[in-house]
Each structure stands twice: as C-alpha cells, then as structure tokens.
A and B are shown apart, each in its own frame.
Chain A
C-alpha cells in the first residue's frame, strides 16, 4: 500500500512537467494549428532564465583585505554578492530564494520570446503543410539550443533550492498512516502544487475572461470570429506567448530537480508530444490528464517488482502506451472526433 502510494507521489512532479509542456503544445495546436517542435526549447529557455537570474543576483564584488593573509601569502579576498551589500540580510534571502523569484524574470522574457517566435517565423507557416511546420520548428529548436549552449556551455548548471524547502514532507501523517512511512521531498510536492496552480490559471483564463472566450470561439471557428470584426490573429499570437510562458515556468521550477542543460528541451519534447497524442490532439484537459497519467505510469514501471516481470519496461512504457493509443484510439483519450484523426 505504502509502496503504491509512494510511486503515485513520485509520478506527480514529472507528470506536472509533462502536463505543463503538453498544455502549451496543445494550446498552440488548438489555436494556430501549428505543430511546434520548438516547444521543448521554450521549456529549456525557462530553465536558463533561472540560471541567468541567479547569475545576476549573485554577482559579487571582490575586495582584498590587506590586514589578513591566507596560508600562501596572498591577501584574503572578501566576496560579497551585490544583493547582499545592498539589501543586507534581505539580500541573502533573495539569493536563497533565487529559483522561485526567477519566475519574475521568466514571465516577461518568455512572453517576449513567444511573441517574437510567432510573429517572426510561425506566422508564415499557417498555410503550409504540417511536415514543413515540423521541419522549421525543428530547425528553430536546434538554433535555440545551440545559442544557449554557446552562452552557458555544454555542462549542466545545478540550481540549489531554497534552504527552507529542502526537507521531506511526511505525507503519511497527513493521510493517517504512521509517521516516517511515506515521506516525499518538499520541492517535488511544491512542483506538483505549482503545476496544478498554473493549469488552473490557464483554464480559468480561458473560461472566465472575455479574452479567453474569444480565443475559445476562435479555436472552434476561426473564420466566423474573424468575420465578426475581431482581430483573432493577434489574440492567437498572445496565446502563443502564454503557452511559451507556461513552458518557461515549468522549466524554471524544474531546475532544482534537474540541473539545466542545453538539450533538456529535446528530451522533454519527445515525451510531451507523446503526452499530447495520448491526451488527444487539441484537447486541453486531455493533455493535462495524460501528462499526469504518464508521469505516474512511468514511476510505477520503474518499481523493481514490475521490472522483474517485464525487464526494461520503465524505459519504454510511455512510448508503448502512445503506440497502443494511436493504433486503437487515434483521437486520444479526450480528443474531439475528427480532429487530426486519419
């Protein structure tokens, strides 16, 4: 029982990341009808927003103190981060919480990147075949990845999580099992809550605002909305920006779990595409449900009990499910009939 619950929990944070990326992917597909292979790169860019933010606030001043001398005779260097010398103790707290705070940097940056990407390249590919959309965004993904590599280098840059959030959370006590039976890293729990929050925000935005209503109308029938005198293209561009922000935030918060490296976008992209397909192309709830489902299934598949029956199942489970779903029910779990179903 505890083992099953533990695996369920283990799948949640990864499932959250899949769900957030897949949500953006399917949002872009549902609004613009574009298959965006560069979406994983946006996740990666988000992670590097966190890296940049940390670099900025830990920028140090080096002062040599001639009164003290180190063991090998050079003056002691006193390094103080600028943030600390400006804000005192608050600066130290700032640095400690750099990962969650970099959301502030990531939102405008990702919005800008998303809008620029849509206006600059993707706009010209609405009418072109899916194969060409895949190819141009694939090229774009390579370019973004290589730019990041040339700036930040090829090695992963680990991002520490805030001190206060480093411990484990005793889930067992919370749901009425004996203490210490079922603990779970706090940050991963936080990631799950965070992803639920973002998903909720996106759905609420689409459901309860006028802007969201227009976007949903545009998804259903773009031409009619256009004929009503609404500039639907501009709204769709903004939706692309929002999808980029969602992917970016998923990346920012994932940094303590996976030190950012330049190719993580590609790694997650393939999986997220599988998630989108399993959930149903163009279906937002489908993408979210499939994201969590696959994350949890993946963690179940990596249990030793399961692995001893089906060796290697943990490596292929997601793809296996995708293959079965595509062959048996091509519209996915929650896809609308007739959307991309052939």
Chain B
C-alpha cells in the first residue's frame, strides 16, 4: 500500500474536513467568531488536540504535561525568527525537531511507568520545564516578560537577502509576510496535513498496535511484543504535534511566554480531547473548537448583553436572572467550562462523538453496541 493511497471512506472524511476548515470564515460568520485571530486559535488548538489524542486516544496513556512541548515549540520558533529568518517553514521544522527531542527524553523516562504514575511523571516534568523557564533559563525564555522580537535581532538570512525594514517584521512564507486571512489559511493547511497524518496513523498497523496497548498491554507483552517502543513513538509523535502547534502560535503572534507551559494548559488539551471524544479522529478537533469558542465568545458577555438577551423576562425577575447567569459568563466562563467538563465525564465519557453516535443509533434500527468500546481505559 503506497503512502498516499487512502480508502474511499477516509478520503471522503478528509475532503469534508478540509472543506469545513477552509470554509471557516463563512460558517463562523453567523456565530460571530469569524475574525482571524480567533480562527487561528481554533485551528492551532485543533492541531494540538489531534496530537494529544494520538497518545491518549490510541494508547490510553494520560499525559498531564503536553503544554511543555507546546512551550518548547513556541520558544524554538521565536528563536528561529530572531536568529535566522521570519519564514514560517524553518521555524516549524526546528520547533518540531526540538520538541520531538524533548518528547523523546521525557517519554523514555515516563513510559517506564503507566497509569496514574505516568500522569504524575509527565506532570512533574512539565512543571520542571515551566519552573526552569520562569527562573534560571530566563536568558533563553525571557521569563515573565515573554520572548519577543526586537529591532536588534540578527535575523542572519533575512538581512542577507534584503535590507531591513524600519519596524518589526511579521512572519511569512518565502519573503511574503502574512496579512489578513493569510495566516489563518496557512494554519488551516497545516491542520489539514496534520489531520491527514493522524488519519494515516489511525488506520496503519502501527495504530492498531497502539490500540492494542490500550486494550490490554499485558497480553501484548505475553504475545512477545515489546510495547514500549510503540508507546514511545506515539509519545514523540504527539510531542511533535504539540511543538508544531506551539510554532503556529508563534507564527501568528511572534511571542512566547511561560504561561503556555503551565499545567493548566496541559489540562485544557485533555479537556478538549475528552469533550470531543477520545480515540476518534474528528472528536478532538470538535472539542478544541467548542472550548475555544466558549472561551472567546462567552467570556465577552457582560451585563448589558445579558439584559438584552433576557429582555423577555419580567422586570423584577430579570435582574435576578442576569445576576445568576452573569456568574457563568464573562469572567466566570471557566465555571461553565468546569461544569460542562464534569457533566461530559459523568454522563458521556465518549464526548460529543459518543453523543452523535447515540443520536444516530436512535434513528437507525436498534443494534447491539459494545458498551465498553468507547471507554477510556488506562494502560495498566
């Protein structure tokens, strides 16, 4: 089977996915989210979540430290901008390589343990990276003030090719700086490629092997497979995805701060994956979009907007309703997020994708479903 021969079904999914991603500026218009900065975030978080899902969804190893790779990717990309060129491609390549190396080292150590110990080990490593970036490594990371471009950066390749402009340059491709929606389309193409690669991994024998690790690692070992190299490969791949996402963040906004490495960021990607549907291809993307949407739209709500929304409620009750609801939007959107997260884990561990499947099976003729199939099972 050649590398690019894909089954018909996958091809349709890929085509539909590409269409949805590229048409984002159109279908997000009525939802009030069609501005470039937000759409870029949608797309980049989706890359991050797809990568995380390759590890968590396929092998069942729950990593709580993926933000470290995101941060490493961002820093590498910004350094590439500062030292070499503002071109996006080298930044991405370097970010993927460096975060892959980080993932190789951290993964090699962490994968000696499984279950909750694995989670805590990854968390410990991520916290170490975060704390170091914040303190000792400030010459590299610029600590609290974030790493940013300056006018005195060498930018060796760029200054050899063309005279320097007056202001700070912005990232681009082959000498053409991104403006308007171009940055978004660039990220969108990267997302589609990332999705395609994930699709290949899911349907490959390697992907089957990872799924086997999730369902029963002991049995795999007894049949004579050494599972660790497979799990490590999955870990490195998902670390590279995270690094790529970090680089994309830096490309859209050439700034790398420590907060990207904090463990809440790791928690957020776990949330995205769970919310969408663990172990499915499209699920994490949906989860990422939902969460980014919540974050950006709901956090913009304020009391005036709420009063307008609830204008149909009688005068006396209106203030009461607005006071209650305002706790859940605006500043308090994370409360909604936490509640939503709990509800999903309690009632629908398979996430949105399981919900969709349930609805579909309501309309289809009743058929027996394997109840445990979508469960997240820790690798033990």
Nearest-CB residue, chain B, relative to A266: B264
**Is B60 part of the binding interface, using a Cβ–Cβ cutoff of 8 Å?**
yes
Is A146 a contact partner of B124 (Cβ separation < 8 A)? Answer: no
Is B62 a contact partner of A131 (Cβ separation < 8 A)? Answer: yes
Is A342 a contact partner of B114 (Cβ separation < 8 A)? Answer: yes
Is A330 a contact partner of B377 (Cβ separation < 8 A)? Answer: no
Q: A342 to chain B: which residues have CB within 8 Å?
A: 113-115, 117, 380
Q: Would you give the shortest CB distance from B88 to chain A, in whole angstroms? A: 32
Interface string of A85-96 (1 = CB under 8 A from B): 000000000000
Nearest-CB residue, chain B, relative to A274: B124
Is A146 a contact partner of B123 (Cβ separation < 8 A)? Answer: no
Q: A139 to chain B: which residues have CB within 8 Å?
A: 338-339, 341-342, 345
Is B125 a contact partner of A319 (Cβ separation < 8 A)? Answer: yes
In this complex, which of B134, B337, B342, B377 has the most chain A Cβ atoms within 10 angstroms of its Cβ? B342
**Is B136 part of the binding interface, using a Cβ–Cβ cutoff of 8 Å?**
yes
Is B127 a contact partner of A319 (Cβ separation < 8 A)? Answer: yes
Is A277 a contact partner of B128 (Cβ separation < 8 A)? Answer: no
Nearest-CB residue, chain B, relative to A319: B124
Is B342 a contact partner of A134 (Cβ separation < 8 A)? Answer: no
Interface segment among A5-13, A108-116, A285-293, A320-328: the answer is A320-328
Q: A147 to chain B: which residues have CB within 8 Å?
A: 335
Interface segment among A56-64, A205-213, A242-250, A310-318: the answer is A310-318
Q: Would you give the shortest CB distance from B326 to chain A, in whole angstroms? A: 9
Number of interface residues of A (CB under 8 A): 41
**Is B233 part of the binding interface, using a Cβ–Cβ cutoff of 8 Å?**
no
Q: B117 to chain A: which residues have CB within 8 Å?
A: 277, 326, 330, 340, 342
**Is B175 part of the binding interface, using a Cβ–Cβ cutoff of 8 Å?**
no
Is B123 a contact partner of A129 (Cβ separation < 8 A)? Answer: no
Is A312 a contact partner of B62 (Cβ separation < 8 A)? Answer: no
**Is A223 part of the binding interface, using a Cβ–Cβ cutoff of 8 Å?**
no
Interface of A is mostly: helix
Q: How big is the B interface, by class?
A: 35 or more
Known contacts A340-B115, A342-B380: A146-B274 contact under CB 8 Å: no
Q: A146 to chain B: which residues have CB within 8 Å?
A: 332, 334-335, 338
Known contacts A146-B332, A315-B134, A340-B117: A327-B109 contact under CB 8 Å: yes
**Is B149 part of the binding interface, using a Cβ–Cβ cutoff of 8 Å?**
no
| CB neighbors of B among A127-148 (8 A) | 128-132, 134-136, 138-143, 145-147
Is B60 a contact partner of A322 (Cβ separation < 8 A)? Answer: no
Nearest-CB residue, chain B, relative to A136: B345
| CB neighbors of B among A118-170 (8 A) | 121, 124, 128-132, 134-136, 138-143, 145-147, 149-150
In this complex, which of A132, A141, A147 has the most chain B Cβ atoms within 10 angstroms of its Cβ? A132
Q: A311 to chain B: which residues have CB within 8 Å?
A: 136
Is A140 a contact partner of B342 (Cβ separation < 8 A)? Answer: yes
Q: Would you give the shortest CB distance from A140 to chain B, in whole angstroms? A: 6
**Is A35 part of the binding interface, using a Cβ–Cβ cutoff of 8 Å?**
yes
Known contacts A150-B335, A312-B135, A315-B134: A135-B270 contact under CB 8 Å: yes
In the bound assembly, the distance between CA atoms of A277 and B378 in angstroms comes to 18
**Is B98 part of the binding interface, using a Cβ–Cβ cutoff of 8 Å?**
no
Q: B113 to chain A: which residues have CB within 8 Å?
A: 326-327, 330, 342
Listed in ascending order, the chain B residues whose CB lies under 8 Å from chain A are 60, 62, 109, 112-117, 119-121, 123-125, 127-128, 131-132, 134-137, 263-264, 267, 270, 274, 327, 331-332, 334-335, 337-339, 341-342, 345-346, 349, 375-378, 380
Listed in ascending order, the chain A residues whose CB lies under 8 Å from chain B are 35, 121, 124, 128-132, 134-136, 138-143, 145-147, 149-150, 266, 270, 273-274, 277, 281, 311-312, 315-316, 319-320, 322-323, 326-327, 330, 340, 342
15 contacts between A and B (CB under 8 A): A128-B349, A129-B378, A130-B378, A134-B62, A134-B119, A135-B270, A135-B274, A135-B341, A142-B341, A146-B332, A274-B120, A311-B136, A315-B132, A319-B131, A323-B109
